[in-house]
Amino acid sequence: MNDITTNLTTDVVQLDLARPDRIGFGEAVLCEPKTVEQIVRALDQARDAGQAMLLTRLQPQQFAALPAEHRTGLEYDPLSRTAFRGQPAPRRACAPIAVVTGGTSDIPVAREAIRSLAFHGYPTSEIYDVGVAGLWRLQRRLDDLARHPVIIAVAGMDAALPTVLAGLVPALVIAVPTSVGYGVAEGGRTALNSLLTSCAPGLVVTNIDNGYGAACAAMRSMR
Amino acid sequence: MNDITTNLTTDVVQLDLARPDRIGFGEAVLCEPKTVEQIVRALDQARDAGQAMLLTRLQPQQFAALPAEHRTGLEYDPLSRTAFRGQPAPRRACAPIAVVTGGTSDIPVAREAIRSLAFHGYPTSEIYDVGVAGLWRLQRRLDDLARHPVIIAVAGMDAALPTVLAGLVPALVIAVPTSVGYGVAEGGRTALNSLLTSCAPGLVVTNIDNGYGAACAAMRSMR
Amino acid sequence: MNDITTNLTTDVVQLDLARPDRIGFGEAVLCEPKTVEQIVRALDQARDAGQAMLLTRLQPQQFAALPAEHRTGLEYDPLSRTAFRGQPAPRRACAPIAVVTGGTSDIPVAREAIRSLAFHGYPTSEIYDVGVAGLWRLQRRLDDLARHPVIIAVAGMDAALPTVLAGLVPALVIAVPTSVGYGVAEGGRTALNSLLTSCAPGLVVTNIDNGYGAACAAMRSMR
Amino acid sequence: MNDITTNLTTDVVQLDLARPDRIGFGEAVLCEPKTVEQIVRALDQARDAGQAMLLTRLQPQQFAALPAEHRTGLEYDPLSRTAFRGQPAPRRACAPIAVVTGGTSDIPVAREAIRSLAFHGYPTSEIYDVGVAGLWRLQRRLDDLARHPVIIAVAGMDAALPTVLAGLVPALVIAVPTSVGYGVAEGGRTALNSLLTSCAPGLVVTNIDNGYGAACAAMRSMR
Amino acid sequence: MNDITTNLTTDVVQLDLARPDRIGFGEAVLCEPKTVEQIVRALDQARDAGQAMLLTRLQPQQFAALPAEHRTGLEYDPLSRTAFRGQPAPRRACAPIAVVTGGTSDIPVAREAIRSLAFHGYPTSEIYDVGVAGLWRLQRRLDDLARHPVIIAVAGMDAALPTVLAGLVPALVIAVPTSVGYGVAEGGRTALNSLLTSCAPGLVVTNIDNGYGAACAAMRSMR
Amino acid sequence: MNDITTNLTTDVVQLDLARPDRIGFGEAVLCEPKTVEQIVRALDQARDAGQAMLLTRLQPQQFAALPAEHRTGLEYDPLSRTAFRGQPAPRRACAPIAVVTGGTSDIPVAREAIRSLAFHGYPTSEIYDVGVAGLWRLQRRLDDLARHPVIIAVAGMDAALPTVLAGLVPALVIAVPTSVGYGVAEGGRTALNSLLTSCAPGLVVTNIDNGYGAACAAMRSMR
Amino acid sequence: MNDITTNLTTDVVQLDLARPDRIGFGEAVLCEPKTVEQIVRALDQARDAGQAMLLTRLQPQQFAALPAEHRTGLEYDPLSRTAFRGQPAPRRACAPIAVVTGGTSDIPVAREAIRSLAFHGYPTSEIYDVGVAGLWRLQRRLDDLARHPVIIAVAGMDAALPTVLAGLVPALVIAVPTSVGYGVAEGGRTALNSLLTSCAPGLVVTNIDNGYGAACAAMRSMR
Amino acid sequence: MNDITTNLTTDVVQLDLARPDRIGFGEAVLCEPKTVEQIVRALDQARDAGQAMLLTRLQPQQFAALPAEHRTGLEYDPLSRTAFRGQPAPRRACAPIAVVTGGTSDIPVAREAIRSLAFHGYPTSEIYDVGVAGLWRLQRRLDDLARHPVIIAVAGMDAALPTVLAGLVPALVIAVPTSVGYGVAEGGRTALNSLLTSCAPGLVVTNIDNGYGAACAAMRSMR
């Protein structure tokens, strides 16, 4: 650091440790844009506060670059790129939240939602690869799905699954567009816009690939 | 109609009258892109089925162009551009859903949500013009807001209100971007994108100006 | 005209009168961007050549501004904004082409396709308002649809109908996105992109609202 | 997998094995966004069902990462990034489908179409590098082309070839924009939009670089 | 005007009267975004300086709103929306500049170029409606066109004409995209991008509908 | 208003009357997206609080629709679409702020800045139509301009003026892009992006046409 | 170099060495798009002129590729990617400029501003990670912040911090959007647009990640 | 190649060897999107025809991957990524074409133009780093520049140089936007749009980074 400047902040990372009291769940650390040093500081603050912590979008190369002592303290899942520091919350006695995907390529994002919910103690049901180009795959799951109060529906490309689903079940359907696809898939923008203009009433949407955000919304709705 | 074609559909409007049984609330008619004749047919089908019906985005000039008998059967609100055919559902004994706006210009969209909820019997609380450029306006409402399980937050331009709110209360926050603004407001796209990339966890979003969709999502979450 | 320039073209409209011999159907006149004088000249050329002619996107105000003698020679349909000059081709003895829409607001575009096919003698079947948010509407038409070799599927907003359809029937499915919708519907761009990234195999797509183009493609495939 | 969640799906890949009966050709596996493990599972399901399978957009590094036993069972073409598992369908006795390109850089996409058609038994004709900046190259092929009922026209940059072609021949012309080019070529978006606004009547279009989709549409039209 | 401010500029319009000496032709007044008062001041300055003046994009309603004395001093062409104040330059003894269009709807823009050239004394040749969907229309003009040193090629939609032309003739081809079309024509952006990515070498491009700019470029190249 | 809802806000307009104490200047009312009733309420609140008020983007038709008593209390300027309610602040004894434009079409936006500064008592200098296509117009003003501590530079189209200016003078240069232009001017987005990527160091930028915002920034820098 | 061309410029890099006299601070070298040879030439020109020089966006791999003699003469900071050649200016006796960030991921851009100010002798205050999703972090810094005449506010994603801040303090707030985020964060475009449409009055904005530009604007305002 | 298809084209590369006779200069090979095998075939065709050939956008790694015998036959310039096969045309006795750049980072594109002109025998003048943020750099070159009939002006970021230049000299100014810059520079799109909306009359524009295209246009204008 350059000594001709005055750093008024005692630490460059300021974890929002009071968040669980305010909104019901703690701060997760979005790792992708951070330096390894910044991730280490966040882990240390959580350790010092005696808090468990969820890390999201932790790239394999970032995980590999962590000091061994920090790495061994993490339960890391490379598919969803999430890690748990400390013990997840005990399992809650509430209805499970369904997480469904249109294709197999959407599973990493679905797993980010699953893992985020698991970290906070919420039970989940996983139903994968039920995209509407083969409608029978969804239809044989409908009775199961209709029993869930909240469904996180993850889909890329044209993202037609959440629309069809929201026309068939009464649940709160939280749609997560994914960046799967090429050409005019535009890194998920077409899926996102398709979901926002859905002709099914009451679909709500998160940012592209934001399985964590969908999990948080599900938790907010389950309180 | 051209008689060399075969119209396999008996009626060009096919109301989804079984929707309440499947998903808990009935079909609303999005009027803006329809011809007056199509709106009339939908009203007639609802009448014949003995169902109440909600009409959204019914432009004043469309309302004025309806036959008198159809017009008098509607309770029309020009600010929100919504109309009720028949009796709204009786008021439910559940917690009210809060609807807040960043500015006064966002009120028409907020009123679309309010009216859609009222039509289905859901109680609401309205809190307007609490945008974060004058943070005190929001702060004096926080205790009220923290008691609501669901908040519909309506905001245009930079749409910072839902983010600040979602950091302060545990409710499910359904954000509705509005088309208010000029230049890079881009008819609401900036507000929409700003909400989707919000640093507050668990914000969910609807299409621009879609107060009706936010109301439906709120109803799904209140079941 | 300015006499210091030399106009090498004898007439500013050059109808491609040999097109039927080359590609099997004649030139239609896209009226919307033309002046009334230009439309009149095209009509006169067709008359002089003794040819029937299809006019598309002929706005009501353009039709009204035509000289009476030209107006009375046209069979004009304001819903589809198409007009026939002269006698349509006799009805062909081939399988009908199905034209389906997701919603009632898509019908004007569907009618442009229907009328373009009728003008060239092709039989059609019309099935309207079978969008997938109420899946039962489509399902009860599936057996009918599976018997058609070519289906023109017209849909706006998220345009999920053609995808679901192409997963269920073997026909050539020509999808036409429509400009119906608001906000991120973006005048039909979201429907278009959604169709182009469809997870159903072999969907082909035309420009937004281009019912005429879909009809031409259907005719090319039926030769 | 996290054991606090319940996976209701027995397998994360659900091949749509009944697709040939419904729509006339089987499911292909889009490999690019899948993990190697997911591709292996799909191959195993096809093997267990005794079905041949087409793989598309299989990157060289993905092919190289497959287990040896799976790799040797594939006939892989790195130029088109396609692979065949099992025996292609026997050659059909129908007219060949023409595949033409504007430039040599468009050949990989053309080959994806060729290989997809070959896998399903359809004969093809290849005509490359006939872009309209040197019009004579196309003109000497016109008689050949006019004899094909279906032409897949592959072109990048300004994509003028399919327009010129569709003005000269009566075939169904399925245009495939490619991502060739730089600057405002925008990864194929300019070619795509140029094709969608073509002044030639009845051109239909697929997603950028989607040779497989064009092949499927051609097969649908040839039934 | 508000008297608490100091206007350092003596006149709000500052015509660049020395431009002909610097670059060879005078300043034209782009009228569309100006108030009628501003147009009047520009006309008065030209009158006071004894200079002829070209006005472009002068809307009919602006022309109609001019004071009678200013209106009568103008030679106004509503098709091209151009007006001449004072006497055009005498006709130059140089080769004519060709102006061609793809369709009849592009003629207003072509006429803006023609009139701009005529105002400065340059001879022109006009060739209209030779778009490449009917290639024969262009081919019968090729010998004429090959004799022009500069061609202004005006085209909308997919704008394939200038590309085909530039592959056939040695002239400097200045392409002007037009805003003709609908859907993904995007007000001329697709035509513009298509021209910029043309596979024909050495095509240069102006802004959408900018016939005046093309004329100026042609004049620069003819010096 | 619908009586089944509870309006927690006593008034739908909540003026931020304490803003001058916090940030040094009061709230202005952005009128364009507001209903006439909302503007009236804001005016009444200002009157009740005994405060002067600035109104921006007040369309002529909105002004005309105000009740006579409210209209007569306003000093309205239709060119800049601004109005003053009550007495502007007394003129401050500080250096004037320069406001320059590239063209005459940019003057309405410049006047919005001028009027906003005047309302708060800041002296200004106006220099119009000094765009860099005629560089001499700027050069003869440079000595004047170099004496101003803050310059608001208003320009549309390619917006080259602020860049050239910021390379020549030491002032804080606040650039305001305008929506002047057609085609790829894109309603001011090209001017905006051009300014943001300026090669001149330290240019800062506001939203398109935001003369008021530039005035506020100038006032913040002059404290 | 090709000897059939004539290079009229004696050196391909032309440092603007008189800039400090004109605008108060010297030219910085934007290194990212330059070749190593070009950076070396700029360093040599500065050395020959006896001037200190600031380098921005100097990538680690560029720094590593510099000749040892040039590398050792630089004080390089890899976090902000800035380097100082020669001695920074002595510290000025003026109020410090505050630099605040919404998150820790925004710190590299903040440090570019800090280092640019330090190089020119301006004192600064750093306050990091005070994003508004945890509003208390900002609130406890407000008294500090209100004492600064200029604040550079650096924020990515929805970039709500500068808006909230500008509503609370009277300083000139220069907002710098950052490229932090994913999906619709669009590499910083959403943050940028959100800032430009801010409902807080008088926010000014720089290009994405342009900490150097913000520092220059701050220096211009402190003269 | 798959033997169930029929390749009607004898060779996948079809050089347009008659182009010089038609348009005055030969075909160049755009190498970037081609495979090494395709480049080799093009070189062999040129050799067999006894023609010299220009290669553009030949990446260093492509050049390195060529067979030694082909590589040694090329005169390769890595800065401009161009190569000459065979002897360039003899130098023509005409006025030189000026090539100017705004910054040093634009030089690779300028060199592509220079090399393309040199290959065809056209003399050139190079003037670099004369961007308008330091206007004196351009001004001292104006007399030189005013003597050139054609100027290729290469600039990125805000691309203000060609506008200022075209206001000062009578030459045909062909502007080439470059992809230099970050953030809203958008890979050159801002420079491109800024040039297309230039307020200087008669600027013509090429695709981003298209130095070759500018050279071809210059050659067309010099015939």
Residue pair F182/H170 in contact by the 8 Å Cβ criterion: no
Please compute the mean of the pLDDT values over residues F44-55 and round it to a whole number: 94
Residue H1 — very low, low, confident or very high, per pLDDT cuts 50/70/90?
very low
Residue D134 — very low, low, confident or very high, per pLDDT cuts 50/70/90?
confident
H181 touches chain F (CB under 8 A): yes
E23 touches chain H (CB under 8 A): yes
Q: Which chains touch B (3 or more CB pairs under 8 A)?
A: A, C, F, G
In chain D, % helix, strand, coil (3-state, to 5) comes to 40, 20, 40
The pair phi, psi for residue B214, each rounded to 5°, is -65, -40
pLDDT for residue H47 is more than 80: yes
Cross-strand bridge partners of residue H154:
H101, H176
Report angle CA A185, A186, A190 to the nearest 5 degrees: 55
Q: What is the pLDDT of residue B66?
A: 98
Tell me the CA distances in angstroms from H37 to G64, H40, H66, H67, one per residue in order.
35, 5, 8, 10
Cα B197 to its chain centre, rounded Å, is 22
pLDDT digit string (tens) for H88-121? 999 999 999 999 999 999 999 999 999 999 999 9
Please compute the mean of the pLDDT values over residues F178-200 and round it to a whole number: 97
Chain D residue with Cα closest to C198:
D207
Nearest one of F19, F61, F10 to F36, comparing CA atoms: F61
CB contact under 8 A, B14 and C128: yes
**Interface confidence (ipTM) of the complex:** 0.94
Q: What is the pLDDT of residue G19?
A: 86
Q: What is the pLDDT of residue D16?
A: 80
pLDDT for residue D218 is more than 90: yes
Candidates F104, F144, F185; nearest CB to E13: F104
The pair phi, psi for residue E36, each rounded to 5°, is -60, -40
Please compute the mean of the pLDDT values over residues C1-29 and round it to a whole number: 71
Please compute the mean of the pLDDT values over residues E122-134 and round it to a whole number: 93
CB contact under 8 A, A133 and C186: no
- Cα–Cα dist B8/B5, whole Å: 9
Residue H133 — very low, low, confident or very high, per pLDDT cuts 50/70/90?
confident
Tokens at residue B48, please? 């014949």
- Residue B64: CB atoms within 10 Å: 10
pLDDT digit string (tens) for B60-107? 999 999 999 999 999 999 999 999 999 999 999 999 999 999 999 999
A210 touches chain G (CB under 8 A): yes
Query: Mean pLDDT over all residues of chain D?
Result: 93
- Cα–Cα dist F90/F86, whole Å: 12
Nearest one of C38, C12, C43 to C27, comparing CA atoms: C43
- Residue F68: CB atoms within 10 Å: 7
Residue whose entry in the numeric block shows the structure tokens 């390769």? H76
Angle between helices D189-196 and E189-196 (to 10 degrees): 120
- Cα–Cα dist C170/E154, whole Å: 43
Residue D158 — very low, low, confident or very high, per pLDDT cuts 50/70/90?
very high
Residue pair G101/G81 in contact by the 8 Å Cβ criterion: no
DSSP line for chain G: --TTEEE-SS-S----TTHHHHHSS---EE-TTS-HHHHHHHHHHHHHHT--EEEES--HHHHHHS-HHHHHTEEEETTTTEEEESPPPPPPSSPPEEEEESSGGGHHHHHHHHHHHHHTT--EEEE----GGGTHHHHTTHHHHHT-SEEEEEE-TT--HHHHHHTT--SEEEEEE----SGGGGGGHHHHHHHHT-SSTT-EE-STT-HHHHHHHHHHHH-
Please compute the mean of the pLDDT values over residues E70-84 and round it to a whole number: 96
Residue pair A166/A202 in contact by the 8 Å Cβ criterion: yes
- Cα–Cα dist G185/G178, whole Å: 10
Tokens at residue G183, please? 């999906």
Residue pair C203/C166 in contact by the 8 Å Cβ criterion: yes
Residue B196 — very low, low, confident or very high, per pLDDT cuts 50/70/90?
very high
Q: What is the pLDDT of residue D9?
A: 52
pLDDT for residue E176 is more than 90: yes
Please compute the mean of the pLDDT values over residues F143-172 and round it to a whole number: 96
Chain E hits for H220, Cβ within 8 Å: 170-173, 202
The pair phi, psi for residue B19, each rounded to 5°, is -55, -45
Q: Which residue has the higher pLDDT, H99 or E20?
A: H99
Candidates H4, H9, H192; nearest CB to D91: H4
Chain E residue with Cα closest to H168:
E22
Entry field: residues in chain G:
223
Q: Which chains touch C (3 or more CB pairs under 8 A)?
A: A, B, D, E
pLDDT digit string (tens) for C56-75? 999 999 999 999 999 999 99
Size of interface D-H (CB pairs under 8 A): 81
B190 touches chain G (CB under 8 A): yes
CB contact under 8 A, C125 and B208: no
- Cα–Cα dist F203/H133, whole Å: 11
- Helices H / strands E in chain C, number of each: 10, 10
Q: What is the pLDDT of residue H6?
A: 60
- Cα–Cα dist F82/C76, whole Å: 48
pLDDT digit string (tens) for B14-35? 778 788 888 989 889 999 999 9
> What pTM value is reported for the model?
0.95
Tell me the CA distances in angstroms from C137 to B6, B12, B27, B30, H6, one per residue in order.
18, 12, 14, 18, 45
- Residue of A2, A11, A21 to mutate, interface with G, max G Cβ within 10 Å: A2
Please compute the mean of the pLDDT values over residues A131-140 and round it to a whole number: 89
Residue B9 — very low, low, confident or very high, per pLDDT cuts 50/70/90?
low
Chain C hits for E183, Cβ within 8 Å: 179, 187-188, 192, 207-210
G118 touches chain F (CB under 8 A): no
Query: Mean pLDDT over all residues of chain A?
Result: 93
pLDDT for residue B1 is more than 70: no
pLDDT for residue C10 is more than 50: no
Task: Please name the amino acid found at residue E56.
Answer: T
pLDDT digit string (tens) for B211-223? 999 999 999 999 8
pLDDT for residue G1 is more than 70: no
Q: What is the pLDDT of residue B82?
A: 98
Residue whose entry in the numeric block shows the structure tokens 């269009």? E101
CB contact under 8 A, H129 and G12: yes
pLDDT > 90 fraction of chain D, expressed in percent and rounded:
85
Residue pair A188/A178 in contact by the 8 Å Cβ criterion: yes
Q: In E24-157, which ranges are continuous DSSP H helix?
A: 36-49, 60-65, 68-72, 107-119, 136-139, 142-146
Q: Which residue has the higher pLDDT, E110 or A136?
A: E110
pLDDT digit string (tens) for A161-175? 999 999 999 999 999
E41 touches chain C (CB under 8 A): no
Task: Please name the amino acid found at residue B208.
Answer: I
Tell me the CA distances in angstroms from D11 to A137, A160, D7, D45, one per residue in order.
12, 22, 9, 10
- Cα–Cα dist D12/D42, whole Å: 10
Chain C hits for E77, Cβ within 8 Å: 2
- Cα–Cα dist H104/H130, whole Å: 9
- Cα–Cα dist B47/B44, whole Å: 5
- Residue of A152, A165, A204 to mutate, interface with B, max B Cβ within 10 Å: A204
